[in-house]
Homo-oligomer: A and B are copies of this chain.
Amino acid sequence: MTPNKEDFIKAIYELGGDQNVVTNKALVNQLSITAASVTDMNTRLLKEELITHIPYQGVKLTEKGSLIANQLIRKHRIWEVFLSEKLGYDWNEVHADADLLEHASSDLLIERLNQFLEEPTFDPHGGVIPNKDGTIPDIESTPLIDVSLGSSFKIKEVDDQQEFLEYLLFKEVQLGKEYTLVDIEPYDGPLTLETDSGDRTILGHKAAFKILVEII
């Protein structure tokens, strides 16, 4: 296994490849490599039985491949917690460093680090940390876009993209913060959230897809 292979498998997983077939095109976009390079890597992973492949359609992870993806994500997210809680990184800063560290972490190191951090369940943007055996604790949460007018909720998880996290930092939307949905404009218009103290935040329609909440 190499860092490149690991990241490729993770990319398939993040595109839903443990359930559905993922196209080459999707991987081209996700990883910023050429279509030919995707085909190359596919044949390599196929040989190791980490994926299945339907010609001209795409790839899916095998059990073995899924396990590798989940264990890599575990490492990634445990490092993100460390960077955030112990080294004072903002939540939009953790991803890049964790993306390197995840490939340089022995199992022993991750288990000790996990102990040191007191076995966290979530990473800094609310992503759930897979268990050591590759299983995933299931957490109930609703996309903000599905919340009905007047409901109150708590922020549970937000999308992991650098710019989106920066945007939320600016908007002061944080994990665990509570709001009531006081307005939704039609035709994919903006949503207005209000805190207990009456502060209002307006978010676009697309942003509401990238935020998961728990109704309270």
Seen from chain A, the residues whose Cβ lies within 8 Å of a Cβ on chain B are 83, 86-89, 96-97, 100-101, 103-106, 108-109, 112-113, 115-116
Contacts and interface: CB of A to CB of B under 8 A. Distances in A.
Number of this chain's copies in the assembly equals: 2
Contact of A106 (B86, B100, B103): B100
A112 B97 CA distance: 12
Smallest CB-CB A-B distances: 8 pairs: A104-B104, A100-B104, A87-B112, A101-B104, A97-B109, A97-B106, A87-B116, A86-B116
Contacts of A83: 109, 112
Given A87-B112, A87-B113, A97-B108, 8 more contacts: A83-B109, A87-B116, A89-B112, A97-B106, A97-B109, A100-B104, A101-B104, A103-B104
B88 A112 contact: yes
Nearest to A99: B104
Contacts of A115: 87
A152 to B, nearest CB: 37
9 contacts: A83-B109, A83-B112, A87-B115, A87-B116, A97-B108, A100-B105, A101-B101, A101-B104, A101-B105
A86 B114 CA distance: 12
A49 to B, nearest CB: 26
A100 B115 CA distance: 21
A38 to B, nearest CB: 23
A119 B52 CA distance: 49
